[in-house]
Amino acid sequence: MRPNILVIAGHDPSGGAGIHADIEAIQSTGGFASTLITALTVQNSRQVSSFQLTPLDLLEQQADALLADYQFQAVKIGMTGSVATVEWIARLLARLPGVPVVLDPVLAAESGGSLAQGDLNEALMDRVAPQATVLTPNLPEAGQLSGESDVAEAGFALTRRCGRAVLVTGTHDNTDQVANHLFEGDRHHQWEWPRLPEVYHGSGCSLASAIASLLARGHPLESAVGEAQAWLHRTLQHAWQPGGGQFVPDRSLTP
């Protein structure tokens, strides 16, 4: 049977990132996705223009309906959008003790448009991160959350602050290889991937969802993180351009 993953994230109508990316990634890596959509964004493959948040009482009703019916084997959190939604998610996680949680602290789109109302840093780090199994910030997000610009300083600062594993992805760096770093306490593990030529939409969402799916299937963290990266790299090698902007990973591929 496919494990059931609860996705809490935003909707991207262009289909590249957000909920579309999460459902496709989870489906291809062997899971089943249930979705709580925190926000509807206005965007295409070139840019994000704006977003509107889902009222919390509606999210609460949807969550109650799902939790009354389903057991979840993992949770994946992407765009939260506001401090109030982050606080609500923290309360929801308390109802799911022992379930692995992947927190992708989405603050902005690859194209630069903001996906957060106000400053979410403290609420994400104090309320949600301590309940997560792993955080998956990209380098700019890790810098913003930790106040450190160096990848190792940012990663160790974040793992020490919340006591959880932190995968800092290097797609936004300007190195020849994309280096992804997993920090956990004093431990550090690094993977390197050849940098591909295009700019991709939804790669962070896809990676975090694939990790959640593999954790739900019982993989230990380091193996889930390694296998999800290998899968993502292949989806990026086969990415295509649906419009005039960023490329979209081919998430129909299976690991």
Report if residue 3 touches ligand PLP, rule: CB under 6 A.
Answer: no
The correct pick among 3, 15, 31, 78 for binding ligand PLP (CB under 6 A) is: 78
User: Is the CB of 79 or the CB of 123 nearer to ligand PLP?
Assistant: 79
Q: Hey, which residues between 80 and 109 contact ligand PLP (CB under 6 A)?
A: 106, 109
Report if residue 48 touches ligand PLP, rule: CB under 6 A.
Answer: yes
Report if residue 12 touches ligand PLP, rule: CB under 6 A.
Answer: yes
Report if residue 110 touches ligand PLP, rule: CB under 6 A.
Answer: yes
User: Is the CB of 180 or the CB of 203 nearer to ligand PLP?
Assistant: 203
User: Is the CB of 78 or the CB of 155 nearer to ligand PLP?
Assistant: 78
With CB under 6 A as the rule, give the number of residues binding ligand PLP: 19
Report if residue 201 touches ligand PLP, rule: CB under 6 A.
Answer: yes
In this structure, what token pair is assigned to residue 187? 């431990």
The 3-class secondary structure across the chain, one letter per residue, is: CCCEEEEEEEECCCCCCHHHHHHHHHHHCCCEEEEEEEEEEEECCCCEEEEEECCHHHHHHHHHHHHCCCCCCEEEECCCCCHHHHHHHHHHHCCCCCCCEEECCCCECCCCCECCCCCCHHHHHHHHHHHCCEECCEHHHHHHHHCCCCHHHHHHHHHHHHCCEEEEECCCCCCCEEEEEEEECCEEEEEEEECCCCCECCHHHHHHHHHHHHHHCCCCHHHHHHHHHHHHHHHHHCCECCCCCCEECCCCCCC
User: Is the CB of 37 or the CB of 185 nearer to ligand PLP?
Assistant: 37
Report if residue 25 touches ligand PLP, rule: CB under 6 A.
Answer: no
User: Is the CB of 12 or the CB of 184 nearer to ligand PLP?
Assistant: 12
Report if residue 249 touches ligand PLP, rule: CB under 6 A.
Answer: no
Report if residue 203 touches ligand PLP, rule: CB under 6 A.
Answer: yes
Minimum distance from CB of 234 to ligand PLP (Å)?
Answer: 16
User: Is the CB of 106 or the CB of 167 nearer to ligand PLP?
Assistant: 106
The CA distance from 235 to 239, in Å, is 6
**Where does this chain bind ligand PLP (CB under 6 A)?**
9-10, 12, 17-18, 41, 43, 48, 78-79, 106, 109-110, 115, 201-205
